[in-house]
Amino acid sequence: MSTTITVAGPAPYDVVVGDGDLDRLPGLLGDGVSRVAVVHPAGLAAAPVLAFLGDYDVLDLPIPDGESAKTAATAAACWEALGAAGFTRSDAVVTYGGGATTDLGGFVAATWLRGVRVVHVPTTLLAMVDAAVGGKTGINTGAGKNLVGSFHEPAGVLCDLATLETLPRAELVAGLGEVVKCGFIADPAILEIVEGTDPAELTSGSAALRELVERAVRVKAGVVAADLKEAGGVGGHPGREVLNYGHTLGHAIERTEDYRIRHGEAVAIGCVYAAEVAGRSGLLVPDVVERHRTAFGRVGLPTTYAGAPFDTLLAAMRIDKKARGNLLRFVVLHDLATPAVLAGPDEGVLRAAYAAIGGHA
């Protein structure tokens, strides 16, 4: 049976989590759609979704694999194709692929005719628990990741866990980076499941992985429903920025590595770093700092990094979306599920935290 999680807000939509549920796609597209553009990586055949789009005029839009797809040139090529096919505001986009496909395809849908319907069908764990939910779309520039984008909520999200059966193990593990992050920022039960389950048993068909997916989606759904466009939270809560826990350093690492490191791996390192920053700032007790290392490390994610000098990463972090002018801002924890924003931390603390995760000056 599938589970339906509704993301509340001005334009509510459903996230369906199930196994073998691609037949739900037409229902998520809704009424009045005649043309559907299917955006997918060139290396991933779109046949599984095309099998359920027989009643539509389908435009096949293959794009490059991975982060290399998230460019203005790729978006422009998609716009030209939509124009040539005569796509109108009553038509729709379906994304079928990982997080980069979801980001790029969502951005195309957000900007074509100032917004057309989009349904995401994520095929990686990372996309299911992160990119597909929440309405953030974006492309990369030479300055950094996701610096150009738009908020554009989908009409629906279809997480068919059967699509994970052929996902390489390294990609599945990388997706767990965002899942474990959700455990630290909002739902400690996620950490208990991870710590109490043999990592080898976290497979596409396991009940444990399904519960982790559903819990992570619920965390994100709750956050974005309360703060869709990062206007800020209440009572000291960072609002939607909390989802960027670990991303300040994580995105800097991705950029420095020219996106050769997987996003979930970079986030895991970034979360351990943020915990060290919080600990060294007197905000987080040592046991919770160390739990970051053990939880991420248990599922096979990296918890150290020494691939670039700190000054290189610091320059990249200054372009982070959370920064305000020259002021760096980090999402940190005071305790499990107790996030806050630390603005303008001492640079000595940042350097010491980098050394603590294996980095060098």
Distance between alpha carbon 172 and the CA centroid of its chain, in Å?
13
Encoded tokens for 65: 């694999």
Instruction: Give CA–CA dist 289/203, Å, rounded.
Output: 28
Q: Are residues 81 and 159 in the same domain?
A: yes
Active site residue 140: no
Q: Domain boundary residue among 164, 180, 205?
A: 164
333 domain residue, yes or no: yes
Q: Are residues 53 and 98 in the same domain?
A: yes
Given this model, what pLDDT does residue 209 score?
A: 97
Strands 3-7 and 156-160: unpaired
- Whether residue 322 is annotated as binding a ligand: the answer is no
Given this model, what pLDDT does residue 324 score?
A: 78
Question: Of the listed 244, 262, 265, 329, which one is catalytic?
Answer: 244
Active site residue 244: yes
**DSSP E strands, 26-143:** 35-41, 57-63, 92-97, 117-122, 136-141
- Whether residue 163 is annotated as binding a ligand: the answer is yes
pLDDT by residue for the chain (361 residues), tens only, comes to 899 999 998 889 999 999 999 999 999 999 999 999 999 999 999 999 999 999 999 999 999 999 999 999 999 999 999 999 999 999 999 999 999 999 999 999 999 999 999 999 999 999 999 999 999 999 999 888 888 999 999 999 999 999 999 999 999 999 999 999 999 999 999 999 999 999 999 999 999 999 999 999 999 999 999 998 888 888 889 999 999 999 999 999 999 999 999 999 999 999 999 999 999 999 999 999 999 999 999 999 999 999 999 999 999 999 877 777 779 999 999 999 999 999 999 999 999 999 999 998 7
Question: Of the listed 171, 211, 230, 257, which one is catalytic?
Answer: 230
Active site residue 237: no
Angle at 110 between CA 317 and CA 171, to 5 degrees: 55
Q: Are residues 304 and 347 in the same domain?
A: yes
Encoded tokens for 239: 């609002």
Q: Which residues of 82-110 are buried (b: 16+ CB within 10 A; e: fewer)?
A: beeeebeeebbbbbbbbbbbbbbbbbbbb
Assign residue 96 the CATH number of its domain.
3.40.50.1970
Active site residue 240: yes
The burial class, CB within 10 Å (0-12 / 13-18 / 19+), for 60 is exposed
Task: Show the domain range for 277.
Answer: 169-356
Given this model, what pLDDT does residue 112 score?
A: 98
Question: Of the listed 240, 262, 280, 292, which one is catalytic?
Answer: 240
Residue with tokens 């990609």: 171
Encoded tokens for 188: 């400690």
- Whether residue 99 is annotated as binding a ligand: the answer is yes
Active site residue 229: no
